[in-house]
Structure 1
Amino acid sequence: MSPGSSTTSATRTATTESEISTYKGLERALRADRLGTAGLLLSVLAASAPLMVVAGVMPTVFGAMGIVGQPLLYVILGVVLMLFSVGYAEMSRHVHNAGAFYAYIARGLGPTAGAGASFVALVAYSAMQVGIYGILGFELSGLCATYLHVTVAWWVPALAAAAIVAVLGWLKIDLNAKVLGALLVIECTLVVIFDVAAVAEPGREGLSLSAFNPDTLTGAGLGTALCFCIAAFVGFEQSPVYAEETSRPHVVVSRVMFLAVGYAAVFLALSAWALTVAAGPGTIAGQAAEQGPGLLFSLTESRLGATFTDVLHVLFVTGMFAALLSFHNVVARYAFAMGREGLLPAAFGRTNKSSGAPATGSVLQSALSVLVIVAFAVTDDLPAGDPTTPVLRLFTWMGNVGALGVILLMAAASFAVIAFFVRRGAAGAQAWRLVASALAGLALVAIAVYTVKDFDVLIGAGPGSALNWILPVVIGVTLVGGLVYGAVLRSARPEVHARIGLGNEAFQLERAAESAGPVGSAGSADPADGTQG
């Protein structure tokens, strides 16, 4: 990244100083004051695709794993993630960086660790985003067959969705937030209507609370169920990614994290319980195993009619689209942060002049999505309507690789929070937050171990399948590669290594170095000791 600046960029910066905290020019910064609490909350909640979880994840946990106590599982995981958010939110008050996870890890565990985390985050969120195109394309293909009587291969609507996401990813984040918000509010409203209908008209076993009994969590499928259920929360941790685009990042980001975790835990627990009430705790496992995602729609149709169920089918698809757009925005911002700090080519560290969106990162993710969709389409020799390639392979493989990466990042971030405040001499003042982070970190490590151990169940492969180790190794190889790259930067380009995790603050160090002359050096600062300017 060139340290020089032209007279034009200096003039432009002077007029926009209230918006950005860099002297590099408007194209090197995300636009500030674009998101408030509501916009940010809707953006991160959209990533969790609530209806996709209720219709897809919940029947899988009930049926394939036989865990009737799924509602209690969401409560337990909500507590774990609240503990995680305590330290993570406090960190967000000190570090405002679109790199989020990797920036926090760099500031706590060092720039080399941050380099490794940056590539894991890029791969993990990219995999989760691309995987959703598979199930979205399959569902849209099914809707075309059902309502239009037209046979369409799954990859056709998947590519169309990728094109729309590419356009929206190029536009202003506040416009994206409005699209995500509208889809999310409608989606959640319909699920709540079903929840109320289920309670008003319970199944044969009545309003049973047995799903909250700890005894219902026993069984060989518990570890796998933990992996599925924690993936349903993914999205809340993305709040710091948008810190530079919020009005008051030191307040808004932490507030949104707690609101997102609390809302997700309550919403998921009540919706899972409503399913048990509607189907009956004693029979829901069998019904879920037989009907799969159709369970929600059959229970809805018997209570709320065919029209409501048809609308729910459509919202099932739009909810997945909202998740696609949310993950796309996150990947683009990680790429932007990495380009700004020298971990990726400098072109990634520039934004669209008109919208302030991270243009190059957005284009990269769109191109990658199209390539992956085409690759899976070319290898799909099954008839239209067969879910094997789009759902059981593309969606399942990519989704679980991404979930494993995010779980590991959350665990590492928990320990990075502890190291950050200890190194700053604030361990005493932050003691209770550090204890919460330690407990969350240990719990997340345990969940990561279960994820790797049960990967054959998660992806539906046999015990002897090579995919059981090839897919998790993707994250391992990415981490090792990132760590090696960070070590190389430390010796070959120490000035780049030193600013990993600093974000816009790195520009301030460069400006100070230029003002001081040849004696000053931007590479002399310790990222772990700085505070965000």
Structure 2
Amino acid sequence: MSFTNEAATVPPTPSLERGLKKNAIGTRDIVFMLVSAAAPLTIVVGIAPLALAVGGVGAPSIYLVAAAGLALFAIGFMALTRHVQSYSGFYGYIAKSLGRVVGLGAGLTAWMSYNGIQIGLYGLLGIQANLAVKSLTGLELPWWLYAILAIGAVWYLGWRGIDVGAKVLAVLLTLETAIVALVAAFVLAQGGAQGINFDSFSPGAIFTPQFAAVIALGFSAFMGFESGALYREEARDPDRSVPRATYISIAFIGAFYAFAVWIIVQAFGPAAIQEFAAGHLDAGDTAYIMAGNYTGEWCVNLMSVLIVTSVFASQLSFHNTINRYTLSLSREGIFLKHSGRISPRYKTPSVAGMEQTILALVLVGAAAVLGLDPFTQFLIWTNSPGVIGILILQALTGLGVIVYFARRKTAGLRWYVIPSTVIATIIMCVVVVLMAQNVSLITGLPDGDPINTVLLVIAPLVFILGVALAMVLKRISPAAYLRIGHAD
């Protein structure tokens, strides 16, 4: 297997309805979609307690480290987007820099990863929706019922188009950001549990085995930031709006998450937060207790509603991302041609959206029948392969940037692009290794449990499957092979 960008005339894409709606979305819309994919309130309520339970008082710093690593990565990634046209996200860029064989492995890995992340979140949404309804009405319903309702709503908004989705996400993002800021103001005004301190950012809190164990959770908070590149086909002035939105999103997410999780540490005190968070993982109420202690029951009720809309916003953003990967793979003949059909009414990838909706219904239904815990089993078991897959894709994209520019004398390329990309690629590889070594801390299963092994090998196996398929296509269908990653 060689890292080559095979020069060949790409045959026409198989006939299908083409033409996404030209929404002319700008920087602000893309920022809303990227940050909503990261779901600020979802992290604070649903994921941060896990980071605190494992990583302890240093957990807020994982988001700053992740932001720094991804900022370095974005330098090379954005430089590549200016020289290589692709509306297929990581898949297209990897195919055009490392070759079609690696590219198809990346494409299938991306499709699997985003589906795993998006569908797993229905478990968290079901938990939080049940808590919200129960606290407001006393009615308790199964988590999967709320998940099914959300699946239908995500499908509808995705079918209506990105411009409609961006408006919904803007409202939801503003509300969830405001509630976190409000609770933070109350905690700071009352001096926290043990006085305001900055132990979370001290070397003693950062350079620990526990911190290394949860660093992957920091990177998982940025899983949707690649989506900006996927919206190039529908963006206004993509060479400016996409890079600008990407940098703004990374900076906002890193700073906001570090601040919000630091507030949780202040609310319970650095000496007590790890034990407290660990004791409340199953209930998922660490953030609610904080809000109740410092602001009152009214804030708990409001937060319980906004966490549901936060998860929903994230799922809508990921749904749109998955649809565009399906569209790209369909255009190239990897997926069925029918999957690439465009809605004649809304000019959206409607069939792709319906297929993703059916997949979500099947997996949620299976989890309900098997009686899986919606958080510790369904969410963790579906999200973990997705997070590993995206980290692998980021490392491959970084390698692609290095290979692409090393093979070309590109005029105007800044001197720091290659060094920053090399550092970022090394960081991604290290994070994958750390996550593999500490997967038992995330799943809560003992070392050596076969489920841990399965979760770790899913993404590499899907990648190998894609590589094998590309090699088969190269032999039996050269025309299909040449379309891999090149159907733009």
State the TM-score, normalizing by the size of structure 2.
0.94
- Give CA deviations for 1:242-292 in whole Å, capped at 9, x if unaligned: 111101111111111101100011101111222222222222222222234
Structure showing greater relative contact order (alpha-carbon pairs closer than 8 Å, 6 or more residues apart): 2
Q: Does 1:434 align with 2:405?
A: no
- Following superposition, the deviation at residue 427 of structure 1 comes to 8.7
The equivalent residue for 1:397 is 381
Alignment partner of 1:377: what SS?
Answer: helix
**Residue 55 of structure 1 corresponds to which residue in structure 2?**
45
Corresponding residue number in structure 2 for 1:423: 407
| Alpha-carbon contact 1:338-1:344 (below 8 Å) kept | yes
The one-letter code sitting in structure 1 at the alignment partner of 2:128 is E
Which amino acid in 1 is paired with 2:369?
V
Q: Distance in 1 between matches of 2:134 and 2:193?
A: 34
- Rounded to whole Å, the distance in 1 between the matches of 2:52 and 2:374 is 22
Give the partner amino acid of 1:349: G
Q: Distance in 2 between matches of 1:457 and 1:69?
A: 16
Give, in angstroms, the shift of residue 337 of structure 1: 0.8
**2:180 equivalent to 1:191:** yes
Is the contact between residue 121 and residue 379 of structure 2 (CA under 8 Å) also seen in structure 1?
Answer: yes
Say yes or no: does 1:313 pair with 2:297: no
Taking the aligned partners of 1:324 and 1:229, their CA distance within structure 2 comes to: 19
**Alignment check: 8 A CA contact 1:93 1:254 kept:** no
Structure 2 Cα separation of the partners of residues 499 and 203 of structure 1: 58
**Ranges in structure 1 where 5+ consecutive residues have no aligned partner:** 6-23, 381-387, 505-533
Does the CA contact (< 8 Å) of 1:166 and 1:362 recur in 2? yes
Offset at 1:497?
Answer: 2.0
User: One-letter code of the match for 1:55?
Assistant: V
- What secondary structure is seen at the aligned counterpart in 1 of 2:57? coil
Counterpart residue type for residue 408 of structure 2: R
After superposing the two structures, state which structure 1 stretch, 199-208 or 74-83, moved more: 199-208
Query: Are the aligned partners of 1:117 and 1:409 in contact in 2 as well (CA < 8 Å)?
Result: yes
Report the counterpart of residue 514 of structure 1 in structure 2: none
Greater shift, 116-125 or 201-210, is seen at 201-210
Percent same amino acid among aligned pairs?
Answer: 29
Q: Separation in 1 of the partners of 2:131 and 2:217?
A: 25
* Structure-1 separation of matches of 2:388 and 2:63: 18
C-alpha distance after superposition, 1:109-167 (max 9, x if no partner): 00111100000000000011110111111222233333222231111111111111111
Counterpart in the other structure of 1:110: 99
Q: Please, which of 32, 36, 40 is the counterpart of residue 42 of structure 1?
A: 32
Question: Which residue number corresponds to residue 7 of structure 2?
Answer: none
Question: Matches of 1:495 and 1:2 in 2, distance apart?
Answer: 6
Residue from 443, 454, 464 that aligns with 1:480: 464
Distance 1:425 1:206 in 2: 56
Select which of 363, 367, 375 maps to 2:358. Answer: 367
Residues 83-98 of structure 1 aligned to structure 2 (within 5 Å): 83-98=72-87
**Aligned counterparts, 1:41-440, within 5 A:** 41-63=31-53, 65-292=54-281, 293-380=284-371, 389-426=373-410, 429-440=413-424
| 1:26-64 CA-partner distances (Å, limit 9, x unpaired) | x3122334311111110111111111111122221212x
**C-alpha distance in structure 1 between counterparts of 2:347 and 2:276, whole Å:** 49
Contact in 2 for aligned 1:96/1:240 (Cα 8 Å): no
Tell me which amino acid in the other structure corresponds to 1:179: V
1:418-474 Cα deviation digits (max 9, x unpaired):
112222332983441111111000000000011112222212212131101112221
Unaligned segments of structure 2, at least 5 residues: 1-9
Structure 1 pair 96–361 and aligned structure 2 pair: CA distance change class (3 A): farther
| Counterpart in the other structure of 1:447 | 431
TM-score with structure 1 setting the length: 0.86
Contact 1:427 1:434 in 2 (8 A): no
Amino acid at match of 1:495: A
CA positional deviation for 1:3: 4.8
Which residue type is aligned with residue 148 of structure 2?
L
In 1, the alpha carbon distance for the partners of 2:99 and 2:448 equals 38
Q: Distance in 2 between matches of 1:255 and 1:143?
A: 36
The answer on whether the counterparts of 2:474 and 2:481 sit within 8 Å (CA) in structure 1 is yes
Question: Partner of 2:6 in structure 1?
Answer: none
- Whether the aligned pair in 2 keeps the contact of 1:125 and 1:402 (CA below 8 Å) is yes
Alpha-carbon distance in 1 for matches of 2:114, 2:288: 29
Deviation at 1:496, TM superposition (A): 2.5
1:519 match = none
**Residues 302 and 151 of structure 1, relative CA distance in 2, 3 Å threshold:** closer
Alignment correspondent of 1:13: none
Partner amino acid, structure 2, of 1:133: Y
CA distance in 1 between partners of 2:473 and 2:230 (Å): 24
Distance 1:95 1:33, change over 3 A: farther
In the alignment, the residues of structure 2 paired with residue 89 and residue 308 of structure 1 have an alpha-carbon distance, to the nearest angstrom, of 40
Q: CA deviation at 1:170?
A: 1.0
**Does the Cα contact within 8 Å between 1:29 and 1:350 map onto a contact in 2?**
no
- The range that moved more, 420-429 or 284-293, is 420-429
CA distance in structure 1 between the partners assigned to 2:255 and 2:82 by the alignment: 26
Q: What amino acid does structure 2 have at the position aligned with 1:484?
A: A
